[in-house]
Amino acid sequence: MPVLLTLQWRRIAPLLLFGAVATLSPFAGQEHGSEAAHQTPAVIATIPLAPGEYPVGIAADPTHGRVIVAKHRDPPPDARLSVIDTTTHVETSSIQINATSLYTIGVNPTTNRAYALDAFSNILFIVDLSSNSVVTSLSTHNVSPYGLAVDSARNLIYWLDASDEVAVVDGTTDAIIATIQVALTPPYFDEVRDVAVNSMTNRIYVTYSIGGSIGELVVIDGSSHDILERIAVGTVPEAVAVNELTNRIYVNHGSNFISVIDGASNQIIASITTDFQVGRLAVNQTTNHLYATKGGSILVIDGSTNLITNELTIGRSLGLAVDSSNDRVYAGSSVIGDGAIQPPSPSQTPPPAVVVGGAITLPDTGGPTRTLHPALPLAAGVAVLFALAVVVAVARSHRRRTSV
């Protein structure tokens, strides 16, 4: 190859490489507040569980460098909590709890306590993580209590004590100090579904379904326990998550919608549409990303644009938690009835495990990753046209010089 053409290729190579990176990056065309947000979602660890154990609830505790995993075990009642070191990804403790099926787990890093809900026995277990033992338990009237939120700043725990009320537990005395009635009418077909708290604004958010046809996000003052607002969010609202730094509240409802609410005005400011029903929600406050379980995958949503930036297939996922301090997401990959812990082939469903990732936590099944960011097709087209234009220009320049 002539020297001139070789030099020309050396000059344009970085530009062509930049075009390729812009095309392949799942965060192309976006601005983020940290370098970690620019990394492609990747799996950094898979933490297998014992045969017969299935992760159904996960809580991150960055203060102590651990995650707490609520596990269902066969046969019941033999539910357990796993304490996993986030540096070594090794289970350091297994706490036996006489529960039928733990579902939701919360943790207060300040008091070193965990709170686990048994969805079938209707019991809230309070666990001392210093001694790895159950301190006490509280009974609930709710048939299937799924919602639980911990306000670490005030040492208060909010849980769905009945189909129409929220119980407030004092973390110091381990006693119920108040109950907040959410229902407007007798709750014949009404049900509170989930609860979240913004400790910065001292607001409590409860998803509430009325007769299966009307859905609300109920906003409660954490000091007075007064209901401040009822926001219509569509039918059958389920999970609710809060970004305390941006004061945004996320609610999934209906078959494939996520509503975005401004916590200052209590107004819906955006609606995110998915192609399948969304389950659990979790927020990374540092990178301003929302994560949502969706059937056998997890969606990554940019909180600044409310656009789905990535979707990765992991198999059935139940538990979901975010460590904002270290930009880690923990997802429980669970298959009921499959206790295998060996890595599956790409055609198999992942076995029960807790998986850890960078921008997102997912098990590596060897399958394809589907990127949904709308900027990518445009970036790809621009990169290809740019590369072709440069090649043509270099070729013409070379022909003119050689003809002379």
Question: Do 282 and 382 fall within a single domain?
Answer: no
Residue 392 and residue 325 share a domain: no
Q: Is residue 206 part of a domain?
A: yes
Question: pLDDT band at residue 120, thresholds of 50, 70 and 90?
Answer: confident
Q: 164 and 62: one domain?
A: yes
Domain count, the chain: 2
- Examine residue 355 and state whether it is found in any structural domain, yes or no: yes
Do 159 and 198 share a domain, yes or no?
yes
Residues 149 and 232 both lie in one domain: yes
DSSP state of 370: B
Kindly state whether residues 301 and 398 are assigned to the same domain. Answer: no
Question: Amino acid identity, residue 275?
Answer: D
| CB contact set of 123 (below 8 Å; sequence gap of 6+) | 99, 117, 137, 138, 139, 140
Does 166 lie in the same domain as 205? yes
Contact present, 194 and 238 (Cβ < 8 Å): yes
Whether the predicted pLDDT of 25 surpasses 50: no
Q: What is d(CA 97, CA 77) in angstroms, rounded to the nearest whole number?
A: 8
Identify the top-confidence range among 14-23, 116-125, 286-295, 316-325: 286-295
pLDDT at 148 over 50: yes
**CATH number for position 135:** 2.130.10.10
Is 4 part of any domain? no
- Tell me whether residue 193 is in a domain: yes
On whether both 231 and 142 belong to a single domain, the answer is yes
Has residue 23 been placed in a domain?
no
More confident residue, 107 or 277: 107
Instruction: Kindly state the tokens that stand for 164.
Output: 């129409």
Are residues 279 and 402 located together in one domain of the fold? no
307 and 384 both lie in a single domain: no
- Asked whether residue 1 is domain-assigned, the answer is no
Q: What is the pLDDT of residue 247?
A: 98
More confident residue, 321 or 26: 321
Question: Same structural domain for residues 290 and 307?
Answer: yes
Asked if residue 274 is part of any domain, the answer here is: yes
70 and 137 in a single domain? The answer is yes
Give the domain extent around 397.
Answer: 374-404
Residue 330 · residue 361 · CB < 8 Å: yes
What single string gives the DSSP state of each residue in 108-129?
ETTTTEEEEEETTTTEEEEEET
Longest dimension (CA), the chain: 92
What residue has token string 């301003």?
288
Token pair 């190859």 in the structure block, residue:
1
pLDDT of residue 338: 28
Q: How many Å apart are CA 356 and CA 370, to the nearest integer?
A: 19
What whole-number distance in Å separates Cα of residue 246 and Cα of residue 71? 32
Q: What percent of the chain has pLDDT over 90?
A: 39
> What backbone phi and psi angles, to 5 degrees, belong to 104?
-115, 140
Within-domain flag for 30: no
Range of 180-184, 304-308, 329-333, 362-366 with top mean pLDDT: 304-308
Round to whole Å and give the CA distance between 283 and 243: 6
Per residue in 183-219, pLDDT (tens digit) is 876 655 677 889 999 999 999 999 988 876 788 999 9
φ, ψ of residue 56 to 5 degrees: the values are: -120, -10
Does the pLDDT of residue 241 top 80, yes or no? Answer: yes
pTM value? 0.75
Using an 8 Å Cβ cutoff, are 299 and 291 in contact? yes
